[in-house]
Amino acid sequence: MTPEHTINGLFSIKYDVFSFGVLLLEIVCGEKNKGFSHSDKCANLIGHAWKFWKERKSLELIDSSLKNSCILSEALRCIQISLLCVQQHPKDRPTMSTVVVMLISESAIPQPKEPAFLMDNNVFCDAGSSSMHLSSTNGLSTTMLEPQ
């Protein structure tokens, strides 16, 4: 889910772009965003990819089963596009038609800004903490539909 939906309950026209970015990142990395864990203590795949992107180690993100059979520059381009799709603010995310153009062309694409769900790096991606404690409480609500 997009951060604007998760945090404020707002639906954005860039919802599909965000979801596509997560899916593209999962395909290239061979990992799922949900339940992701890595030794760098990032709580999700997006945080892990952003950390590696900033450290210029994005090649390490590519799934080992893809490395020998893909064009590395195209895989890196997919990582960059996925990070553009999961940016914090909807206005910073490309439209789906722009994503398609970026995928099929070889023209330069912009550098991504910080992705969503990294607002507090101490919670989501902190290589300096000795342990991470994340918890949630799930509530249940029931809605009764009645005719007017």
pLDDT, tens only, 30-41 = 988 776 665 556
Digit-coded pLDDT (tens) for 45-100? 888 899 999 999 999 999 999 988 999 999 999 999 999 999 888 889 999 999 99
Axis-axis angle for helices 15-29, 72-85 (nearest 10): 150
Place of tokens 């300096």: 128
Question: What are all long-range contacts of 99-102, with beta carbons under 8 Å and residues at least 24 apart?
Answer: 99/17, 99/20, 102/77
Q: Where are the chain's structural domains?
A: 3-124
Stated pTM of the model: 0.70
CB 25, CB 33: distance < 8 Å: yes
Digit-coded pLDDT (tens) for 10-31? 555 666 888 899 999 999 999 8
CATH of domain 3-124: 1.10.510.10
